[in-house]
A and B are shown apart, each in its own frame.
Chain A
Amino acid sequence: MTKFDENRIVYREVVKAGDPWMHEVKAGQYFRIVDLEGNQAVDTLFYNAADQAERYSATDTIREQGKIYLTTGSELMSNRGNKMLTIVDDTCGRHDTIGGACSAESNTVRYAIEKRHMHSCRDSFLMALGSCSCNHGKTMKKEDLSSNINFFMNVPVSPDGHLDFDDGISAPGRYVEMKADMDVLVLVSNCPQLNNPCNGYNPTPVEMIIWE
């Protein structure tokens, strides 16, 4: 178990509801996401900072651990079978990686054709890819958006194959903490979804903390 030490924080920022965020976490550093007000979904993608063609793979991660939910001990695997980060602490207990990110287009399908113009995670991801200074000047595109993790989100699957979006199991102040196994770029959309219970219909801020 890691000891969180205020004196070793190298970066700390509150990401407002519906905002994108991108930052590098170096190998050996710890990365904590705090669900400040509870019931928030944090859509997250990871890339090898040196070669962004290597990225988080949802299917490789769940298959290698033999379980669809993520929690303490889960090793987040890349599309090339390498360990990217390890979840070392988790006061929420379960995170989803099947449910993907919302987009303007999927909103038309899931809710109503007129919902296209609501803000979405893919818009946030694309905004970060186009404007962030920390991806080493490399251009990333829509093609680089693979299936993400939804921290603090609950998407249960039953043995008969039924899948659902359930109310979150997070609460104010709960956090998930990872240790990076390689230098990673973290791309986050603090989900702006207003149409389903993943945010309790009320997106709220989260805090990002990196320490050594």
Chain B
Amino acid sequence: MPEAPSYNGFVWKELIPAGAHWSGVIRRGTVLRMTDLQGGANVSMLINNLEVKNERYNMPDTLKAQKTAFLTTPNMCFSDMGRVMCSVIADTCGWHDTIGGLSNANMLQKKYGTKTYQEAHNDYFKNGHDSLINELEKWGLNESDIMPNLNWFSKVRVEDDGSMTFVENNSAAGDYVDLRFEMDCIVSLSTAQHPMDPSPEYNPKPVELSVYKAMKVEQDDPCRLHRGENERAYYNTKVFYGENPND
């Protein structure tokens, strides 16, 4: 595997354990790399604008604008306000799910039984829905902000009759995806298993987050050039930040 780029300089990194949850601010002009350390990871993510928190990652607008049901490079993640939140600028995995949603407590109990904090301490079973509520609340957000989420590293294929299949072994150890943030964002994530993961074991995987300073976004940036829709959403983002939208 080729050496991953370090862009314009390293900022920080952090290990997110399996089945955990995390949130933080990722600034415009930085790159968030998520690395699947062991293979088979899943990162359920919601994204909110830091300043105008009810601006959120919007699954339908992202998919409609780019005529795709999954994400990879050079896709962008669109907000519900016609702007770009982040761009997928590198991806060794190739398919990230946008339609599978989140695991919840009921589902985990049916699939894996229960493991409470009292029994298992920090290895208790955590699900995507509750984990994200836990993080959202820290920023003044709540259950109303649980929208169709991203599931990085997971693949759900849709057959011609509309049926959905979880494709196993989509991501291998060392796979990574780089998101260049185009907006100051609150990123909330859970490393719980994908809700369609057929594994009979509760067996989530850790991921590493690392943040770099991004290179300047040029006019010929592949994500901006991908489709007219992408450039127009980027134009709206520049206007939001008081920059000349034609740069």
Contact = CB atoms under 8 A, between A and B. Distances in A.
Contacts of B161: 67
Given A62-B99, A63-B164, A158-B158, A100 B64 contact: yes
A147 B196 contact: no
Contacts, number: 127
Interface in A99-143: 99-101, 103-110, 112-113, 141-143
Interface of A: 53, 57-60, 62-63, 66-69, 79-81, 94, 98-101, 103-110, 112-113, 141-144, 146-147, 157-159, 161-165
B235 A106 contact: no
B229 A53 contact: no
A73 B67 CA distance: 28
Interface in B215-243: 229, 232-233, 235-236
Contacts of B78: 106, 109
A103 B196 contact: no
B100 interface: yes
Nearest to A160: B157
Given A106-B61, A110-B64, 7 more contacts: A59-B148, A66-B163, A68-B158, A100-B60, A100-B61, A106-B80, A147-B147
B63 interface: yes
Contacts of A159: 157-160
Given A109-B78, A142-B54, A143-B54, A59 B102 contact: yes
Nearest to B53: A143
A66 B59 contact: no
Given A59-B100, A67-B163, A161-B95, A109 B54 contact: no
A159 B163 CA distance: 10
A110 B162 CA distance: 25
A98 B54 contact: no
Nearest to A107: B82
Contacts of A106: 58, 61, 64-65, 78, 80, 82
B143 interface: yes
A165 B159 CA distance: 17
Contact of B162 (A53, A63, A68, A163): A68
8 contacts: A53-B142, A53-B144, A59-B99, A103-B81, A143-B144, A157-B69, A157-B162, A165-B64
